[in-house]
Structure 1
Amino acid sequence: MKALGFPKSARLLRPADYSKVFDDVQLKVPHRNFLILATPNDLGHARIGLVFSKKNLKLAVQRNRVKRQVRETFRLQSDLPGVDIVILGRQGLANLDNQTIRDSLNDLWRRLKKKYHQSSPSRAAESRPAGRGTG
């Protein structure tokens, strides 16, 4: 059976990584219960950071449950572009069941990919092979 992990290379680890995203937000995907902020990176793969406050999720059990759902849906996204992502939790998350959270997150990942490709036609062109060469 294949080991399914969540390596350190897929996470924002340092405060400077979070600051980079907060200071230079290029993609914003809002939702009733979440807010995704993202900025492109040069790593070629996506990294994620989580911000869930006690104000919105009072109990540690609630915060940990939501974070597990976010990590799992992120891990299953194989075609995310090279961006650093910060997910912020909003009020009302504690009242949602796991399936509703997963469905919301899957929709957010889809919208993030769509916004990324719409906002960066130059990046999309770089990933496509050139039509004609000179020679």
Structure 2
Amino acid sequence: MPGGEDRGARHFFPRAVRLTRRQEFTRVFQRAVRVSEDGLTLLARPNGRDHPRLGLAISRKHARTIAARNRVKRVVRESFRRHQQRLGGLDIVATSRSGLDPRDKQALTAVLERLWPELIQRCERSSSF
């Protein structure tokens, strides 16, 4: 069914843009530029590639149900896809903190819309890379 294939292609999150190994996450956590707001933290570090990659570490402590964690991950992935052209060669990890409300998709989206530009700006200014 051609219509179904097209619809699925828009929502594809290929392995090339994901952090998949523990070492990749650890590398970002060890030395990263951080931006935070309302229970969500983005950490970034250069990856030496020509495209950004995203890792998700959404804690059970802050989003108690699997549905809540999946909702947060879905919103972060969707926002990442919209902004990835401006993110350059960064490895980015999104983590949850206290204060996160996984039920409010619009609030999560608004927080991310503010965090991406701030992350880009801090990475450009940072000499810690």
TM-score, normalised on structure 2? Answer: 0.85
Spell out structure 1 runs of 4+ moving beyond 4 A: none
Q: Residue 119 of structure 1 corresponds to which residue in structure 2?
A: 126
CA contact (8 A) 2:68 2:103 kept: no
> In the alignment, which residue of structure 1 is the partner of 2:68?
62
Q: Which of these residues, 25, 29, 33, is aligned with residue 22 of structure 1?
A: 29
User: Does the aligned pair in 1 maintain the 2:69–2:102 contact within 8 Å?
Assistant: no
Q: What are the superposed Cα offsets for residues 77-129 of structure 1, whole Å, 9 maximum, x if unpaired?
A: 12112111111111232365111110101111111111122225xxxxxxxxx
Instruction: Name stretches of at least 5 consecutive residues in structure 1 with no aligned partner.
Output: 121-135
Identity %: 39
Unaligned runs of 5+ in 2: 1-5
Which of structures 1 and 2 has the larger relative contact order (alpha carbons within 8 angstroms, sep 6+)?
2
Distance 1:82 1:95, change over 3 A: closer
How much is the aligned-residue C-alpha RMSD, in angstroms?
Answer: 1.8
Question: Which of these two proteins has the greater Rg computed from alpha carbons?
Answer: 1
Structure 2 CA distance for aligned equivalents of residues 113 and 90 of structure 1: 21
2:63 is matched by which residue type in structure 1? Answer: L
Q: Return the offset for 1:24.
A: 2.2
Structure 2: distance between partners of 1:20 and 1:30 = 19
1:33-112 mapped onto 2 (5 Å cutoff): 33-77=39-83, 78-94=85-101, 96-112=103-119
Cα distance change of structure 1 residues 104 and 15 upon mapping to structure 2, 3 Å threshold: same
- Would you say how many aligned residue pairs link Structure 1 and Structure 2? 120
Between structures 1 and 2, the one with greater helix share: 2
Report the more deviating stretch, 73-82 or 1-10. 1-10
